[in-house]
Structure 1
């Protein structure tokens, strides 16, 4: 197959774009799991099991579906006060993660929403950014 100069440039540009995009997605592929291990697992457990009646579980948690719209703000700003998860009351302070970007919050939420038997709806970055506006937590991607 003989390509003319213009076709050669176009083919090369397409190939380069595909390779760059693949690298971009590969770097973020496991970001939610990495962020969870770094920022959440010490309290909620490696497998989202929580800690007895002190820290609520994320695995099999009814709270995730019932409070979907507040989850981005809870990750960014933290949570104080009593909550009920799977019929059990918890009242421990959860610190916020002000340094997380909107895309990191999205990846972290999607990891939790789809791990350990959870089958909750995944988030888009736009949905997370829109919810963060309600708590003054929008920071950008």
Structure 2
């Protein structure tokens, strides 16, 4: 009897573990992004983006469904969100206004020089994907 209960308990624990892990699947990207050949400054921006931004905004700024918006999107074209908006977002954070992901917190670890490189990278991605 103890053996049967032990096996049943183990089966329940394993099943619960699989069920819990199934809810933690990798989030899907929101847009397909073509990555162009990048200049040296844009490559530095790509590295900074990967280190500081990709957790929410996805690899190559493609967004993460349920986590953060894509920056390679018409909403972030330069005529709507100029370069200065990226500096403000890094310094002060951003209240959610285009998407329902919630507010973006300030990123005090990112310097203005870092933001300039990140913006160069994002703009290169946008141009390569038809966003001017």
One fold, TM greater than 0.5? yes
Counterparts of 2:130 and 2:118, CA distance in 1? 13
Counterparts of 2:87 and 2:130, CA distance in 1? 17
Counterparts of 2:55 and 2:101, CA distance in 1? 17
Greater relative CO (CA pairs within 8 A, separation 6+):
2
- Which runs of 4 or more aligned residues in structure 1 lie more than 3 Å from their structure 2 counterparts after TM superposition? none
Compared CA separation, residues 46 and 91, structure 1 to 2 (3 A) = closer
Counterparts of 1:76 and 1:64, CA distance in 2? 20
Aligned to 2:12: none
Q: Tell me, what secondary structure is at the counterpart of 1:115?
A: helix
Counterparts of 1:94 and 1:30, CA distance in 2? 24
TM-score, scaled to structure 2: 0.56
User: In the alignment, which of 93, 108, 114 is matched to residue 124 of structure 2?
Assistant: 114
Asked if 1:98 is matched to 2:108, the reply is: yes
Task: Identify unmatched segments of 5+ residues in structure 2.
Answer: 1-39
Matches within 5 A, 1:63-102: 63-65=76-78, 66-68=80-82, 69-80=84-95, 82-84=96-98, 89-102=99-112
Question: Alignment length, in residue pairs?
Answer: 90
Compared CA separation, residues 78 and 51, structure 1 to 2 (3 A) = same
Counterparts of 2:66 and 2:42, CA distance in 1? 33
Does the 8 Å contact 1:76/1:96 carry over to 2?
yes
